[in-house]
A and B are shown apart, each in its own frame.
Chain A
Amino acid sequence: MNRQALPAPSGMPADCADCPAHHAANLRRLGVDMQDWDYVVALAGNPNTGKSTVFNALTGLRQHTGNWPGKTVTRAEGGFEYAGNRFKLVDLPGTYSLLATSADEEVARDFLLFGQPDVTLIVVDASRLERNLNLVLQVFEITSRVIICLNLLDEARRHGLQVDERRLARDLGVPVVPTVARTRQGFDLLLKTIHEVASGRTVCRPHRIQSEPPELKRAIAEVQQEVEALFPDLPNARWVALRLLDGDERIIEAVRQGELADLASTITAAPRLAMEAT
């Protein structure tokens, strides 16, 4: 058969530039060059789970890493390019919760709430899963586009712990990617998952707590209704209600000043979610 008789039809590009395999090994670390980013990725997690190691591995920067909690107190930013998209990566201070009782918690919380990251990557210590999940569940209240980076797997294994990441992903309703950040194990999948969640190709349905006592539930629901009446487009009204009930000054101020309204309108005005037509 004549091979020449079958050239690529007009619909097919000459090269394979839009093919995922083409990029899989082609992470471009952009360092501090963060011009014209397509997506913002926030890096959150408990202190000392390896967030900065993940950050450095992705951006090529050399943020100081140290094996002690509380090393990063302000946010660091860097960039990387993957699959033709430029990502801005924001390393948030490690926190145990988002209740904003300290300056570093406030930095992390405010960025997740007002910075509107396209993806929030929570780095989780596989050997201390329970404590880490406290933060994960709190982040779920603020944003739904979350990926769990199940880090320090080597350490967990050394302690004889086995983590069933499939079950965890199913229970949490978001992607869980097992990694060993120091040896960059699992990073191919991590990058791919970041890209898929950012582009809306993977849709997360995070697990919401339902175990509050009935009295709390009622109070939350009532305040949530008020918040929704005030900011109809706000995606995380329940979380704002929780914070109001808890007497969070920063959030009370944000409600009073209408900062949350701006937030809601930016979300509806510029939807970055590019759902794939099926």
Chain B
Amino acid sequence: MSAVAQPPLPERGTPARALTVAQSLRWQTAEFHERLMESLYGEAARLADRAVTRPGQRPRFDLDRTLDRIVTSRLWGFPLMILLLAGVFWLTISLANIPSSWLSSILIGTVYPALQNAAQSIGLPWWLSGLLIDGMYLAAAWVVSVMLPPMAIFFPLFTLLEDFGYLPRVAFNLDSIFRKSGAHGKQSLSMMMGFGCNAAGVVATRIIDSPRERLIAILTNNFALCNGRWPTQILLATIFIGALAPAYLAGLVSALAVVGIAVLGVLITFGVSWALSRSVLRGEVSSFSLELPPYRPPRILQTIYTSIIDRTLIVLWRAVVFAVPAGAAIWLSANITIGGASLAEHLINLLNPIGLLVGLNGVILVAYLFAIPANEIVIPTILMLTVLVTGTTGVGSGAGVMFETDASGTLALLTAGGWTLLTAVNLMLFSLLHNPCSTTLATIYKETGSRRWTVLSAVIPLALGFTLTFFVAQIWRLAGGAG
């Protein structure tokens, strides 16, 4: 090894160089120490002054603290929460109708007949044009026109609240109830995610480190109404419950009905968590600290853009992807006949007694079978099957065809299908309380690695759903209500 000659000037990256530079700068910078200390002390004084309130001095007004005191107060916390939610739904319901009918007049009023004509002119066989246009295209068109407007209004509004920093405060409000239910306080956060998508909510339970409490959060996540179910709730509330009120109150009443279902879901979450933590998932409650982030003025344009791109279009795409094959399956089941009746009719007749017993009907139960991949297509499927059963003409144009309809048309059709207020109320309940969609089930299986818990996560809500709708139907009929 040869000795390396030291260069005359220190090279960059050697101790000598660094020391020389520091040395020369030290002499160039007058009173380095004093001035450094000065800025340090100044900074310390500034920080201390912001945090400390002296005797006789009014606490410094802090918007965050004041807001927190209101939105997390014992008295105002919950009413404010419900008011905000109701406001969001009221806006959604009252604004969504206009673009909805506009979309359906284009997609179903104009494009649909044009497609049919085109199919006829190139001589497609009836079964192929039926499958492609009456089945697949109409299913997709229906989902787009029904779901896009409410989602495009609801998601940005919800995201604005989230962006503002309100959701952690909701979690804070709910925390103590979760703990009393024997669950982890962070479950309130995974539940918030579940209000968007249950599969995402199930993944979000990873923030809970105790396996026992995480399982509770996974098993109860389905009780948070997800994207796929909000439109069902909003539609039913609008045409059945809103219609009971005078016109100027209709929007508000429907919004409150939807909020009522969402709140019921939260209450059931508490109840089931409580029951689980006292039976199969017994154990201690862990403590955790929840950081309340500072409030930030929401970035409105950016929020609208990202929530439309990220949430609305992605959810819509998923709905369309599931609706297209489902549309094909529905059309096939309505057009393949065995012994004089179609496959769908056989199924409906088979399930009708059970359906009627719980205040629903066979059509609804069959629709829920078709909708296992995605809750989004429940309403289109119900309408299509109702046409089939009632033999209504003029609205649709044949077996297995989804058709153009607006709120009043839907009401007329469903009434013809034997629907009453009870059916609508029970469907709203059943939409809250039934098995999670197949995506969520797959996620639950992936997260728990257990068939048992996955099955249980479907069995619990189904059992609750049938029990609740059964009792509502019995009480309704005892009280002399129609149905």
Which A residues touch B287, using CB under 8 A? 20-21, 24, 188, 192
| CB pair A222 B212 closer than 8 Å | no
10 contacts between A and B (CB under 8 A): A9-B453, A19-B284, A22-B284, A129-B48, A130-B45, A164-B65, A167-B50, A209-B43, A212-B35, A222-B21
Q: Is residue B279 contacting chain A, with contact meaning CB distance below 8 A? A: yes
| CB pair A227 B18 closer than 8 Å | yes
Which A residues touch B53, using CB under 8 A? 161-164
Q: Is residue B29 contacting chain A, with contact meaning CB distance below 8 A? A: yes
**Closest B residue, CB atoms, query A177:** B289
Docked Cα-Cα span, A222 to B26, in Å, equals 11
Q: Mark A220-261, 1 if CB is under 8 A from B, else 0.
A: 001100110110000000000110111100001001101000
Docked Cα-Cα span, A129 to B52, in Å, equals 8
Which B residues touch A209, using CB under 8 A? 39-40, 43
Docked Cα-Cα span, A210 to B243, in Å, equals 63
Q: Is residue B310 contacting chain A, with contact meaning CB distance below 8 A? A: no
Q: Mark A12-45, 1 if CB is under 8 A from B, else 0.
A: 1100101111101000000000000000000000
Which A residues touch B252, using CB under 8 A? none
CB distance from A131 to the nearest CB of B (A): 8
- Given A162-B52, A244-B18, A258-B15, decide whether A11 and B211 contact each other with a Cβ distance below 8 A: yes
Which A residues touch B66, using CB under 8 A? none
CB distance from A221 to the nearest CB of B (A): 10
Q: Is residue B7 contacting chain A, with contact meaning CB distance below 8 A? A: no
| CB pair B65 A242 closer than 8 Å | no
| CB pair A12 B12 closer than 8 Å | no
| CB pair A19 B210 closer than 8 Å | yes
Total chain A interface residues with beta-carbon distance under 8 A: 65
| Contact among B29, B47, B54 for A245, CB-based, below 8 A | B29
Q: Is residue A67 contacting chain B, with contact meaning CB distance below 8 A? A: no
Docked Cα-Cα span, A9 to B455, in Å, equals 12
Q: Is residue B113 contacting chain A, with contact meaning CB distance below 8 A? A: no
Docked Cα-Cα span, A196 to B87, in Å, equals 39
Q: Mark A185-196, 1 if CB is under 8 A from B, else 0.
A: 000110011000
CB distance from B36 to the nearest CB of A (A): 6
Q: Is residue A211 contacting chain B, with contact meaning CB distance below 8 A? A: yes
**Closest B residue, CB atoms, query A242:** B36
Q: Mark B288-308, 1 if CB is under 8 A from A, else 0.
A: 110010100000000000000
| CB pair A130 B209 closer than 8 Å | no
| Contact among A11, A165, A252 for B448, CB-based, below 8 A | A11
- Given A12-B212, A212-B35, A245-B32, decide whether A21 and B19 contact each other with a Cβ distance below 8 A: no
Q: Is residue A6 contacting chain B, with contact meaning CB distance below 8 A? A: yes
| Contact among B13, B43, B286 for A19, CB-based, below 8 A | B286
